[in-house]
Structure 1
Amino acid sequence: MNVTSATDSTSKSNSTSSTSNTSSTGVDYNTFLQLLVAEMKNQDPTNPMDTSQYMSQFAQLSTVEQAMQTNNKLDSLLSSQSLSQADALIGKKVSFTDSTGATFSGKVASISINTDGSIATLEDGTKVAVGPGLTISQS
């Protein structure tokens, strides 16, 4: 089954900006499975898909699924590593300069980890992002 381009030349400028956002996420497992099932449903009955093509697509599906499982395990590993590094900061003295030029310092009382990174809470309640510009020293 041959498929031509899904966009025409008149909508190319509009579609470029929308596809740049989705291209980084790629095709997920469910989308790939839906495409495979749709292809099988819409194949020409007088010229069905070759068995080798079917097996090739099935192997691709399996590869996508294994890659997703690997990504999930890597995410878990990175979370665990972040927690270990955060634990090592508790009780350390840190100093930093904010965007206004003010300099702060204090001892780290706790660390919270979220999707944006790690946030250190100092003993006086000041919150600071753990990252560039933060100086860490022994207490």
Structure 2
Amino acid sequence: MPKIDPSLYLQNQNTARTPSPELGKDEFLQILMVQLANQDPTNPMDDREFISQMATFSSLEQMMNMTNSIDTLVQSQLVSPVIKYSHMIGNEVTYQAYDEETGEKLDIESSKVVAVSQQDGWAILELENGDKVYADAIIEVRDPSIDTDEEPDSEGSE
């Protein structure tokens, strides 16, 4: 004969209630149902009051849904490598080039970033010269609109 696990007895179940500082839609609906069940039958709740409470409940539910949607949007933007590295489009980057077949190091090259994509969660910079480079392989980033090749004018104006 099988034995009954004593931990399953009702007397052994946790009956302590853990209060929550937040009032959610489930709690709001419970309060409304208790209020309806315990109202004075000789003086029932006014229709307008009931409609007002239901409208409040609906607004609360919509705000919670909107908050969840915004949180999801923010999280997806924080995680996306494309968005994280999109500011590099138009900048010139310097990187160590490799031979794709042998894996041998080639010269250090520079090219302008024309697009950013992702593969397996990694940001890949697509360059003007046709190369594709992982973002973490970049050695230097320069703004091409700032000319760094010119030496400052050493002549003083007198």
Q: Which has the higher helix share?
A: 1
Q: Which has the larger radius of gyration?
A: 2
The TM tier, using the shorter chain, reads 0.3 to 0.5
Normalising by structure 1, we get a TM-score of: 0.45
